[in-house]
Chain A
Amino acid sequence: MIKLDNVSLVFQGGSVALSNVTTEISEGEFVYLIGHSGSGKSSLLKLLYKEFSPTKGDIEVVDMDVTSLPKWKIPLLRRKLGIVTQEPQLLEDRTTFENISFALEVLGFEEKEIDDKTSTLIDLVGLNESMYKFPSQLSGGEQTRACIARALASNPLVLLCDEPTGNLDPDLSIQIITLLEKINRAGTTVLMATHDSSIVNRRKKRVLQLKDGKLMSDVDQGRYV
């Protein structure tokens, strides 16, 4: 599902974000990407959805050669991915329902489909009681849930989550992780970047550990040391 072969990313000015990273993630896996701030977690995720291009190496995501993907094909790649960022990106002037239906609208779904699918997604992330609330009226956890629901709008094959629990307290973080695991059980591959050791150590999943842009370890049921 995801393949990185000797991938490096060096920014203008010479700072190295990733160095010779090679790994593979299969369909249906749930993988944690861990490391301290600046270790290269976000950069790696951004390479996967072609926000960045690698300086060296090859990347393949959902059978698409991301390295040589032309600009006009990037939307096609992103429609196969769900992307959740650390800061919940919600439109302040729209309700939870509208924020989620917005994605479906952009993807070109018919009105009836949009309503049905939005309701299903809201149900899935457990925001039934907050569907007509605006982002400012939602808690941090609810905002993240709304973002996850929106990321699922295109029925993605892979869900890329960049520190979705970064701003949440431990209880809310567990709720989000539980939700992501539920999504994973339904067949979606999940790659989640986090620096929260308590989460990773408790869930016993595959863990990729980055340090200074290098892949230090790749352990199934690993722990964040």
Chain B
Amino acid sequence: MKKLNYVFKNTFINMRRNPLLVIATMLAVLVSSFLVFTTLSARAIVENNTSRWQNGVHVVIFLDDRVTSTAHKQLQDTLENYPEVRMVEYFTKSEASDEFKSLFKDQPELLQEVDFDILPTSLRINLNDPADYQLIIERMDGNPAVREIRASGEAIERLLSLTNTLVLSATIFAALIAFAAFILIINTLRLTAYAKKKEIKIMRTIGASSTYIRLPFIFEAVFESLIGTSIAVGLGWGFIQYSKTSFIAESIFDIAISDSYLINLTLILLFSTIVFGFFASFVGIRKALND
């Protein structure tokens, strides 16, 4: 207990020696952890959203009205027999008109201008695996009953690709800042070790173990990292809560992310931070405390 008191007391004495470096370290850890937290949360949100879209309609086949309804029915039967297809829904001209009216109900001028007769009948296809949309397009290519094919998979793929690029960029940036934090921690600890050179020498002479001498340094690195990450996680939670009611949620995404995901992410981040602090302190004082 007495030794633990000594370790805690010295951790805070060490931190008081270089306040600016300590703050810089905490800020670097904070930015890095915030980026990791928000990036991973954002990826989860995008995945949730795209998964919802993927559960909807993946391919729409607009039918040529010059072809008989029997041909339309045959085409629907053919599609329903494909193993990749989960469900095919026949969408009539009148249903297309109703949908159009519903979508543009706020624009009466547009509704007055539109000739609803030009809206084609369509087959709306739901696939087991949305990635198979290309197969359907290939099979339907050249079919006389088909006027045009649209696949939402392309848009989803583009969005996922964009998200992955953003996640990768943010991860690289977070890693760079984490590296900066790592260097800062090492620097802070080395300065502290240098300032305490005499004290460390005396402790060695008295018979203090290496672990005992190292502990205040380890605690310092872990403590600084934990403070940075805790603030980052707090800000991350706050940002997500704000986003749920902000323009982002109204205009682009439903900010759908479970609390359990966020709690797991928080725990993983805090644990990683402790490991990070340990490793940084180990590297930082290895040379300074080498016996």
Contact = CB atoms under 8 A, between A and B. Distances in A.
Interface of A: 49, 71-72, 74-81, 83, 85, 89, 91, 102-103, 105-111, 150, 153-154
7 contacts: A75-B207, A75-B209, A78-B207, A106-B206, A108-B2, A110-B2, A154-B207
A85 B203 CA distance: 14
Contact of A105 (B6, B198, B207): B6
Nearest to B211: A72
B260 interface: no
A53 B192 CA distance: 29
A106 B201 contact: no
Given A71-B291, A74-B291, A106-B6, A91 B207 contact: no
A174 to B, nearest CB: 26
Interface of B: 2-3, 6, 198-199, 201-210, 212, 291
B264 to A, nearest CB: 38
Given A72-B210, A75-B209, A106 B203 contact: yes
Given A89-B201, A91-B198, A75 B2 contact: no
Contacts of B206: 78-79, 103, 106-107, 150, 153-154
Contacts, number: 54
A83 B210 contact: no
Given A75-B207, A107-B206, 20 more contacts: A49-B205, A71-B291, A75-B204, A75-B209, A75-B210, A78-B204, A79-B207, A89-B202, A89-B205, A91-B199, A103-B202, A105-B2, A106-B206, A106-B207, A106-B208, A106-B212, A107-B207, A109-B2, A154-B206, A154-B207
A75 B3 CA distance: 15
A91 B206 CA distance: 14
B205 A75 contact: no
Nearest to A102: B202
Contacts of B208: 75, 106-107
Contacts of A81: 207
A81 B2 CA distance: 22
Contacts of A71: 210, 291
Contacts of B3: 108
Contacts of A76: 207
B205 A83 contact: yes
A71 B203 CA distance: 15
Contacts of A77: 207
Nearest to A83: B205
Contacts of B2: 105, 108-111
Nearest to A156: B207
A17 to B, nearest CB: 19
B195 to A, nearest CB: 11
A76 B204 CA distance: 11
B141 to A, nearest CB: 74
A206 B185 CA distance: 53
